[in-house]
Amino acid sequence: MRWQITKTFRFEAGHRVWKQNLTCGRGAELTAGKEVPKNKCVNLHGHSYLLEVTLGSDVLSDQDMVMDFYHVKNALKDLIEEIDHSFIIDLNDPMFRELKEVAEKYGAMKIFPVDFCPTAEALAKFFYDYLVQKLSEVGLLGDVKVVKVVLWETATSKAEYHGI
């Protein structure tokens, strides 16, 4: 893509990585022989997320831009408002049903159910797919592409998703 633009969004959300197991899986061999800490991310916890979406085009619009940042913001505004201050939880998480019941009973927890373990990597793909769908719905995917989505979970940890 000759031209690229990036728009950032901030939101707060909780999650848990219910599949985390630091004693096995890809990379476990890097800590072989060392004491492995408890799986902290299986606990309920939250982040101040920073989402970066990058759009690109080889052709500028008649207004000499890939797309106005205002329109990028509006494409994601509803989703960001929905996920902000929510608890993102996998429908397959063994705790899902009980947390949902607690949320409904007390009204003190906003649940954002997804059909994947809400790791930073999976959430980056989720936002990517959402934005591709939005652009597709209005017929913009021919001239504008979603180049990548970057999701910062902390100031030192991010995940990126690039489409095919």
Given 41, 47, 121, 160, the catalytic residue: 41
8 Å CB contact between 95 and 16:
yes
Q: Among this protein's residues, is 71 annotated catalytic?
A: no
Q: Among this protein's residues, is 45 annotated catalytic?
A: no
Alpha-carbon span 131 to 121, nearest angstrom: 16
- Residue of 51, 55, 62 whose CA lies nearest to 3: 55
Q: Which two tokens stand for residue 153?
A: 């979970």
Q: Among this protein's residues, is 24 annotated catalytic?
A: no
E-strand spans in 16-85? 45-57
8 Å CB contact between 118 and 17:
yes
Given 47, 52, 71, 85, the catalytic residue: 85
Residues labelled as active-site residues: 41, 85, 153
